[in-house]
Every structure is written in C-alpha cells, then in structure tokens.
Amino acid sequence: MKNCLLLCVAVLALAVGVPASAQFMYLDSNGDGVCNSSDVVGPGTTSVDVWLATNKDAAGGDVVCATGEELTMNSYTFILRSTGGVTYGAWTSNPVLGFGTNLGTGLAGNDRWVGRGSGTALPAATYRLGTQAITVTTATQLSIVSSTSGFAGAITSFGSQCLGSEGNNTMKLGTDWFDVCGTAGGTPVKETTWGKIKDLYRN
C-alpha cells in the first residue's frame, strides 16, 4: 500500500506539468510547412526550408522554459548534413524575422552550418528561419545535427530569454532539446509519374 501511494504521488506530480524543453527544428523540401515522408530530396530539388518551433515539440505539444522565462528567439544556428549528392548554395534568411547579423556560415564535406541573429527578440512561436539553396545530383537525405568536425564552434541552437541548461540564454540541440526532422529517403513526388501529371495542371 505504501509503495502504491508513493507511485500515485509521483504520477500526480508528473500530471501537474514539469517544465521541459523539447523544441522542434525541421526541414521542408516541398513547401507545405511541415516535415513528413513527402519531404524527399533528389535531382530537381533546388531548395529546402528550415523551420523552428521554440515552444512546441515534434508532436505539437506545448513546452515551457525550465527556468520560467519566455521561449523567445533572437538568433539561430544550425548544421545540415547530407548523405552525399548535394552542393550547398546560398542561405536566404527569412526577411520577416529581421535577423541581419551573420553569426557564421561554413561548409565542410557534407556539412553546412549557418547562424543569424538580431538585437530584437521574437515571441515564442513557430518560424520559417529561411531557405537553403541546393543542387542535387542524386537522391539524398538531409538531417539536422548538433555538431560538425568541420568547425568545433558550430552548433544547432537558438538564442532565447530562457536561460537554458548552461545559463547562457542559448538553447542547444542535444542538451536543451532533441526533436528534429530531416528529409526522407525515396523518390521526390515531382519526379514520379503522378507528380508530373500534377505539374501539368498546376497553372
């Protein structure tokens, strides 16, 4: 009975809602604003959008800052990694965000890292960070990773009023949050027979 009561207390404590960080960064290759099995990258794919939900997890659930501050955003950094067959072009930051400060951009092998910032913090929400131009020679997959051997200082993160686990107002992938979604394997819909038929009637 005693053990049962302790278990019930623990379950109730969890039900109240413990502050957690489970932000979600994802890629969108077909322009529908979500990441799923339709987001594949192959010859003909020219760009991929990068999105960040500062206050949602991958399942769409609400998350809060563990130290009580707002999950705002005033900067972002991310690292993309391909399985090959991709040449990275220019990064175009979403102009609506106003993130005009370059925090670093680089390439190393199959990795691409980008960072942008602003002196103004945006409220907690889901944002399209921008668009990465790519040239694809063979079907490939793109993923979001937390680090790269190409540059030790590159990370995937966002600056926030939330202090974060290290107390430096930086929410880091792999430390403060873990939810990411990259592109899927397979043949892009636009390259299939059905995709080509849809293109005929698009305009």
pLDDT at 22: 78
Does any domain span residue 3?
A: no
Does any domain span residue 7?
A: no
Q: Choose among 75, 101, 97: nearest CA to 168.
A: 75
CA 133 to chain centre: 16
Q: What is the enclosing helix (H) or strand (E) of 8?
A: helix 2-16
As for how many domains the chain has, the answer is 1
Does any domain span residue 47?
A: yes
Contact of 132 with 112, CB cutoff 8 Å: yes
Q: What proportion of the chain, given as a percentage, has pLDDT over 70? A: 81
Residue 186 pLDDT class (50, 70, 90 cuts):
low
For residue 192, give the CATH number of its domain: 2.60.40.680
Beta-bridge partners for 170: 159
pLDDT at 193: 38
Does any domain span residue 26?
A: yes
Q: Kindly report, residue by residue over 4-18, the tens digit of the pLDDT.
A: 333 333 333 332 333
Query: What is the domain extent for residue 124?
Result: 19-200
| pTM to 2 decimal places | 0.82
Does any domain span residue 153?
A: yes
Q: Kindly report, residue by residue over 90-129, the tens digit of the pLDDT.
A: 999 999 999 999 999 999 999 999 999 999 999 999 999 9
Gap between the Cα atoms of 30 and 49, Å rounded: 9
